[in-house]
Structure 1
């Protein structure tokens, strides 16, 4: 290979590497900067990915995450308690998630929040030692996560915190 072609190839590789690093920096930086609607870039990206996984409208529903001594409670409720469409969609989705989580399938949260989501790997590895119960409520549905292993309780709490952060205005800490 002649020197000119080698320099051109080196310049191209360098440009590609710099571009990839810049893209990553912008993604990470964008996660912290707020957009015009008050959401961070990461929250907007999570909401967009969430629309492909969750059938209900994030703008018309709220997630509540309540950590407790044995795991935690996740409620998803319609913002309008008489919104039968959103309530039905919430119930269908959470029934499916309860079944999937009980089988160690946390693919939906991974798709929305990323494979490196805090707590996710521990939950996938320890799913057989976590009981996931589904229950309907008048305005949506509830998943209750119970385990007697402190490390899995911690993983559930980390997982809840990550969802609270990532969902922004679409999520709240429960009471």
Structure 2
């Protein structure tokens, strides 16, 4: 084997090993988050999907039942998101901290926001509920986006980027 080819092969193998190690670490973290999430969220992560959509002034977090006819999960989602809305409006982000860890990206900044700096509205949607977050403060918008990204990573297959969801031609719930 030529020295250049050997070097390239070793680099590729090292990269694949790092990717496999990263995947295993991600899978382990996702399992831990799912276990802690079951203590915070009344609905089943496996029976629901979290959809995070960023916007220029914040974004939205939808949680929907994977089975549209699952009225039980839908009611649990709606109750939980209404409670989360009230907690977050009081600056209480203890639920995400318990689920994802106190060092979750964006969380410290969201906790430090003054009342009224982040608007959080709730609405029922088909099969679940939606929280919409808005802020005029670009730093808080960046914090919301970092927080969304962390949740996407932590929830794995049970979460999706709303922009990808929309662009894949799927109808949003």
Matched, 1:165 2:153: yes
1:92 corresponds in structure 2 to 79
Task: Judge conservation of contact 1:64–1:75 (CA < 8 Å) in 2.
Answer: yes
Matched, 1:134 2:122: yes
Q: CA deviation at 1:32?
A: 3.1
The one of 36, 47, 58 equivalent to 1:49 is 36
1:3 corresponds in structure 2 to none
The one of 16, 34, 52 equivalent to 2:24 is 34
Q: CA deviation at 1:33?
A: 4.4
Task: Judge conservation of contact 1:32–1:42 (CA < 8 Å) in 2.
Answer: no
The one of 134, 139, 156 equivalent to 1:146 is 134
Q: CA 1:164 to 1:127, structure 2 compared with 1: closer, same or farther past 3 Å?
A: farther
1:19 corresponds in structure 2 to none
Q: CA 1:87 to 1:127, structure 2 compared with 1: closer, same or farther past 3 Å?
A: farther
SS in 2 for 1:34: helix
Q: TM-score, normalised by structure 2?
A: 0.79
Partner Cα separation in structure 1 for residue 114 and residue 84 of structure 2 = 13
Matches within 5 A, 1:67-106: 67-106=54-93
Task: Judge conservation of contact 1:50–1:112 (CA < 8 Å) in 2.
Answer: yes
Q: CA deviation at 1:139?
A: 0.8
Q: TM-score, normalised by structure 1?
A: 0.79
The count of residues paired between Structure 1 and Structure 2 equals 143
Q: CA 1:156 to 1:127, structure 2 compared with 1: closer, same or farther past 3 Å?
A: farther
Q: Which runs of 5+ in 2 are unaligned?
A: 1-20, 164-173
Q: Which runs of 5+ in 1 are unaligned?
A: 1-30
Partner Cα separation in structure 2 for residue 148 and residue 156 of structure 1 = 12
2:18 corresponds in structure 1 to none
Q: Which digits, 9 at most, give the CA deviation of each residue in 1:98-128, with x for residues without a partner?
A: 0000000000000000000000000001152
Q: Which digits, 9 at most, give the CA deviation of each residue in 1:26-81, with x for residues without a partner?
A: xxxxx83438xxx6100000000000000001111000000100001000000011
1:11 corresponds in structure 2 to none
